[in-house]
Amino acid sequence: MGGLRREEALMAAFYLTRTGAPGDEIPLPKEEAQHALKVLRLGEGDEIDALDGAGGRFRAVVVSAHGGECVVRLTESLPSNEPPVRLTLYQGLPKADKLEFIVQKLTELGAAAVVPVKMERSVVRTDAKDGEKRRERLSKIAHEAAKQCRRALAPEIAAPLTWKQTLSRMAEHDLILVPWEDARENTLKQAFAAAPEARSIGLVVGPEGGMTAEEIAALKEIGAQPVTLGRRILRAETAAVAAAAVTMALWGDL
């Protein structure tokens, strides 16, 4: 393979049709095969990185490339790049383009799940059908973002939940943090100092209009901790990404 093609191949990763182990020969999905053969013009003997979508990362070599199909042999397992902490973002429903941005960036940062939430001040309103269509689109965005950053496990993307459903789901976490513009004293650093052992963290961010006093009160009742992100008011999408990045850094991933 020529130098340019090898450089391009090593910048890209490809999903497999199933999980496997070193020594297995596995075909790439149709769309992945087309990208490998027609765009990158890979051929037999070329090396790639392969992701199984279930947490496995591999170095692989193309062993068959013809008829629009591409089969690779897994040659070695690569170290996991999943974080030591499981972070779930509960995002008050913002406008569609902002939620897509949030999903993409939270995938890159290593979030385990993104859960859109119907909050009181959410401008966007969805029914069950619209919610499922949005979930499918966001899942595709997460899948592509995981591939771009060579993450073998894309985050769970939930259909939009009601506020009651959200409070019930939050019971699974060791720690729930709520970036809130009216928080004054507690910082993410202080929250970490008090619970460095937390391994399942819920992060709750409001929509464009923020959360109501009643929503904050309900979160406090289940043990959630409001935290400040500084002296400036951040947009919903900025708050989600900034809080996730700092949380990941404090609990040992970045």
pLDDT values of the chain reduced to their tens digit, one per residue, 254 residues: 444 444 544 557 899 999 999 999 999 999 999 999 988 899 999 999 999 888 899 999 999 998 889 999 999 999 988 999 999 999 999 887 999 999 999 999 999 999 999 999 898 777 767 778 889 999 999 999 999 898 989 999 999 999 999 999 999 999 999 999 988 889 999 999 999 999 999 999 999 989 999 999 999 999 999 999 999 999 999 999 999 999 999 998 87
CB 102 within 8 A of CB 68: no
For 99, residues 6+ apart whose C-beta sits below 8 A from its C-beta are 91, 93, 116, 134, 138
Instruction: Indicate the pTM of the whole model.
Output: 0.87
Say how far apart CA 224 and CA 245 lie, in whole Å: 19
Q: Which residues pair with 91 in a beta bridge?
A: 116, 205
Q: How many residues are present in the chain?
A: 254
Q: Could you write out the DSSP letters of every residue in 176-244?
A: EEEE-TT--S-BHHHHHHH-TT--EEEEEE--TT---HHHHHHHHHTT-EEEB--SSPPPHHHHHHHHH
Can you point out the beta strands (E) in 93-195? 113-117, 156-157, 175-179
* Residue 18: CB atoms within 10 Å: 11
Q: Look at residues 116, 112, 115 and name the one whose alpha carbon lies nearest to residue 199.
A: 112
Structure tokens at 156: 């769970």
Say how far apart CA 34 and CA 38 lie, in whole Å: 5
pLDDT given for residue 133 in this prediction: 86
Q: Look at residues 253, 208, 8 and name the one whose alpha carbon lies nearest to residue 94.
A: 208
